[in-house]
Structure 1
């Protein structure tokens, strides 16, 4: 096994490595570090910490492609899986030696962290294929359903609108709210859309018919700015049954959407709640203008702990499992259609849970939370384990508007009024880079399904697509006549939707 790396790269080892070593010895016999930097003892490890075979000796001239071959051989996989490799948190994009940055030693075993990449590749959107008028006021939210077959938007004109993504035309206009629609949220099974408005009402809609399901759910004394659904694999009925809402009154309400009744009211925040997440472990996370994040047990409403550290309003939250909680059920739906034996709701729920557990394994078995604040900082937490943050992430010069984990959980992207987007390591919170190009504050971000691209919407009226390979702008997408408040990338990777102050919905494609 120790010679596996050498066999993969035998030609380079014979013709390049040994003569290079001899030349270095002759040129400078005192420089021992140069002699030692020819080979390294390394071991491949998954994010969970499990080792893929014993330590093996590798030439430092090995490229990423050669590492792929070695790892697939060690894992004994019939199908070749693409991987990303990391050493000391540095991604290996060229040779192993370059990633080590001179820290190689033959006496120490170097851990090479590997993480599977998406097999499919999403291509950057390049043009606006449709500009869809209809809303009479600013578009405040717009998003695709988990399977990408539907798209919905909410506006200051008090309506929720559904759009046909295939023909890129208006589908349904839904009227029940009496004030601005501030937030919309798709159920994990894609069968319902929830909306919340400035008057404190929550409505549930059927995307297939555009009709309201049940009555308006009332109880909030002020506007509703946060909505999140119970993850499908936690539902006892096998359907998306429960919804949590929160807003300016500082209370969280958990609703049964079938009966339209409020089952629990969670009180504890002193000011407006600005963000809400329902984790796959059954915990609710709420961020507030009172500078705290509270952890609740959704089952009985008990507050587990309070996360403190921010010096100003906490604006936004993201979980490293957000993407799989959004799309896991649609993956199950696709499997059910392909294989009718999975037709039962319980089977769909089981598949959704397997998707979630697989994502947790990739991220090391830990659900992580990141928070962004008006104090210009972000914090990375493991809130189910500890109330102390893993890392305080500084660098933004103005308040943080949005934060998102990449679907593969490897990168955190944060958007700020300082006109920049910053990238952070998804496990450690270490700063990775900054994306500059916008000339106005950045409002919202959305990742492509393969984690290779990021799209941003800005106060400068443009969208921009960024490449994670180059850490540079891939496409500049002007077209809106005013500020862009909302962006989303469809889970199938085909489309980006945007909306904003010009009252127009735009669809962008390749």
Structure 2
């Protein structure tokens, strides 16, 4: 091959089931790898969080304290802390590196189920969204609310910061996806304002795009500066649940999502073509997480399934 010819990417290796973890007694609502890749955690409607080793794929600890089901979790950037969002209207911050994995802080202020949560990159702020239709920004050190953002008219389904933490993107069952200024809580842009519920919205790793899921079986990639949608990903089923897709960047760039047909879907980010449909769960897959360094996917199934499954290439 001459120096002027671009190298062809290696052929795609399909993901295969590596391990099934049956820790939880109810639906598993969320699973996420830590940012350093050493750990992963799952949240469940059984009111617990489970903490696992990514190396041995074994349970390290069960985190108990919430009085109702847990809908979401997020890791601090240094992979030291987990924040969880619960139907008991609180958020809890847990020390994942302590031997007892203690709850170090409880954040109170929402008046409805807390459905979604994320840290900013410095991990000094947390953003949460609730069925009370508000977004709250919290100071991690004090546990106090910095802003209460009222801009949605139905439950907030998704909230996350952009990489530098200056912006927040939110989605809601009211059919809107909005971008907010973190410092002031002011709405800067409305990306979507439709009748179809927005179930998820997240900035891309480089912060230039936003991945948006809507309850019409569609994922779209938006350039948030222009407000234009550049790519569309379809084939999965998503009309009822808030399924949380993600980006895979370890071996090519892919979009990964669960589906109400009990499968996991992988699309080529640029080409939009479906790469793989992974079967194995026996209920809706609402959450997927991609390991930050290895070709590994974790997925979570609802009540008929209750498992966390680990998928690897060349298993």
Normalising by the residue count of structure 1, what TM-score does the alignment of the two structures yield? 0.53
Partner of 2:159: 276
**What is the CA RMSD across the aligned residues, in angstroms?**
3.3
Alignment correspondent of 2:258? 457
Aligned to 1:372: 213
Equivalent in the alignment of 1:448: 248
Cα pair 1:496 1:507 within 8 Å, conserved: yes
Which string of whole-angstrom CA distances, capped at 9 and with x for unpartnered residues, describes residues 351-407 of structure 1?
A: xxxxxxxx46xxxxxx23343333666666544x45xx324x7xxxxxxxxxxxxxx
1:226 alignment counterpart: 116
| Matching of residue 301 in structure 1 with residue 173 in structure 2 | no
Please give the alpha-carbon distance, in whole angstroms, between the structure 2 residues aligned to 1:173 and 1:165: 15
- Confirm whether residue 504 of structure 1 aligns to residue 313 of structure 2: no
1:150 aligns with 2:39: yes
Query: 1:303-345: per-residue Cα shift (whole Å, max 9, x none)?
Result: 334445423322221323xx3xxxxxxxxxxxxxxxxxxxxxx
1:200-279 matched pairs, under 5 angstroms: 200-209=89-98, 210-232=100-122, 240-279=123-162
Measured in 2, the distance between the counterparts of 1:470 and 1:259 equals 44
Deviation at residue 207 of structure 1 after TM alignment: 1.7
Residue in structure 2 matched with residue 351 of structure 1 by the alignment: none
Question: Following the alignment from structure 1 to structure 2, what is the Cα–Cα distance between the partners of residues 166 and 222?
Answer: 37
The whole-number CA distance in structure 2 between the counterparts of 1:125 and 1:188 is 29
Q: Which residue of 1 aligns with 2:64?
A: 175
Q: Do residues 390 (structure 1) and 228 (structure 2) align?
A: yes
Out of 20, 44, 62, which is 1:131 matched to? Answer: 20
Unaligned runs of 5+ in 1: 1-64, 71-81, 84-92, 94-116, 233-239, 324-358, 361-366, 394-410, 420-440
Q: 1:161 maps to what in 2?
A: 50
Aligned to 2:4: 69
Provide the C-alpha distance between the structure 2 equivalents of 1:470 and 1:269, rounded to a whole number of angstroms: 30
3-state SS of 1:214 partner: strand
Q: For residues 289 and 169 of structure 2, what CA distance do their matches in structure 1 show?
A: 22
Q: How does 1:91-106 map to 2 (within 5 A)?
A: none
Q: CA deviation at 1:443?
A: 4.5
**Long gaps (5+) in structure 2:** none
Task: Give 1:132 shift.
Answer: 1.6
In 2: Cα distance, 1:125 partner to 1:140 partner: 25
CA distance in 2: counterparts of 1:445 and 1:370, whole angstroms: 8
TM-score computed with the length of structure 2 as normaliser: 0.82
CA 1:486–1:315: 2 relative to 1, 3 Å: closer
**Alpha-carbon distance in structure 2 between the residues aligned to 1:415 and 1:208:** 39
Change (3 A) 1:451 1:217: same
Higher mean displacement: 276-285 or 200-209: 276-285
SS of equivalent to 2:63: strand
Secondary structure at the residue paired with 1:217? strand
* Selected match of 1:288 from 169, 172, 177: 172
Going from structure 1 to structure 2, the CA distance change for 1:185 and 1:413 (only over 3 Å counts) comes to farther
- The answer to whether the 8 A contact 2:246-2:257 is kept is yes
- Structure number, greater radius of gyration: 1
Q: Considering Cα pairs closer than 8 Å and 6+ residues apart, tell me whether 1 or 2 has the greater RCO.
A: 2
Q: Which residue of 2 aligns with 1:427?
A: none
Whether the aligned pair in 2 keeps the contact of 1:415 and 1:443 (CA below 8 Å) is no
The answer to whether 1:417 aligns with 2:229 is no
Distance in 2, matches of 1:291 and 1:442, equals: 13
| C-alpha displacement of 1:465 | 5.2
- Higher share in helix: 1
Whether 1:493 aligns to 2:297 is no
Between Structure 1 and Structure 2, how many residues are aligned? 307
| Counterpart residue number, 1:190 | 79
Q: Is the 8 A contact 1:255 1:262 kept in 2?
A: yes
Please report how far the alpha carbon of residue 412 of structure 1 lies from its aligned counterpart in structure 2 after TM superposition: 6.0
